[in-house]
Amino acid sequence: MKKKEETDDSLQLEGSIWFRSGQQNWGNPRRMALLAAIDSQGSITGAAKYVGLSYKAAWDAVDAMNNLAGEPLVQRTTGGQRGGGARLTERARELLELYQSLSHEHERFVAKLAAIESSHSRNLELIQHMMFQVSIRNKLTCAVESIAEGKVNSVVTLALGDALRIRASITQASVHNLRLEPGRRVIALIKASSLAFGLPDRKKPKAGQNRVSGRVSNIVLDDSYAEVQLSLDEGRTLTGTIPRADFDKLGLEEGDQAIALFEESNVMLGVLD
């Protein structure tokens, strides 16, 4: 009889080192692995295959690193775009050596943190979400339920709870870069200005549009705009800003049932790892 595999449900900590230029992250673990592969394989083609990237994705990453580092890190050698080789500059070798050294020390640090006994993994997740700061008003934690892939864009269905679903239309490249798959935790970002409001059963969603229902829980008015907060199921809220004239036509008051409409293409996705 096959022995049942034991699962480890204890708290586990992971982390990684990133390099930044201004507000741009460019030296993430995957890109550093690509640099190391270029050094060992001697070509973009070989390095891309080694780290599991497409040829185009590898060159896009190299171009981004070259631009954001402020100087070339990878140089083409002889041959055509697909037939030639590539080599690291001296600056890239220095950065790679530094990154590998920092990563080693970082792993030791994380291992020490993981030794601290804790049964409150949900609290740690909440701390992560609180540290995730962007100017976009609506930040909703959710899980990928399904992905309808296209050649250019893909539609990602997101579960915000037992019954609440929204969809995001993002590029296929973003699906790959974010490593999206069913069950992966993400944060959906929706600008307040991208929302429209309506009365229940009066405004039907168009193709490519999300429609969610809720109760108006807060209204803030000025001469030009109205800020409307909608309380959804699962304890979630959505906040939108619309022209004051549009709000006056709706005649919404706090406590009223209403719907919020927003385009799938206006839902951006972020991940915390």
Please, which pLDDT band fits residue 165 given cuts at 50, 70 and 90? Answer: very high
Please state, in angstroms and rounded to a whole number, the distance separating the CA atoms of residues 41 and 87. Answer: 9
Please state, in angstroms and rounded to a whole number, the distance separating the CA atoms of residues 18 and 28. Answer: 5
- Residue 166 backbone phi and psi in degrees, to 5: -135, 165
Task: Note the pLDDT of residue 105.
Answer: 73
CA atoms within 13 A on the CB side of 59: 11
Q: pLDDT tens for residues 174-233?
A: 999 899 999 999 989 999 999 999 998 766 778 889 999 999 999 999 999 999 999 887
Q: pLDDT tens for residues 5-27?
A: 444 544 455 555 555 544 445 55
What domains appear along the chain, each with residue ranges and CATH number? 19-114 (1.10.10.10), 121-189 (2.40.50.100), 191-261 (2.40.50.100)
Task: Note the pLDDT of residue 120.
Answer: 57
Sign of the CA dihedral 156, 160, 163, 164?
A: negative
In the chain, pLDDT over 70 holds for what percent of residues?
73
Longest CA span, the chain: 74
Element of type H or E holding 125: helix 121-131
What is the side-by-side strand order in the sheet with 257-263? 196-198, 257-263, 209-221, 225-231, 237-243
| Structure-model confidence comparison of residues 231 and 115, the more confident one | 231
When mean pLDDT is compared across 40-49, 69-78, 194-203, 240-249, the lowest value belongs to 69-78
Please state, in angstroms and rounded to a whole number, the distance separating the CA atoms of residues 73 and 47. Answer: 15
- Per DSSP bridges, beta strands 225-231 and 237-243 are antiparallel
Please state, in angstroms and rounded to a whole number, the distance separating the CA atoms of residues 160 and 215. Answer: 17
| CA 53 from centroid of its chain's CA atoms | 19
Please state, in angstroms and rounded to a whole number, the distance separating the CA atoms of residues 103 and 93. Answer: 15
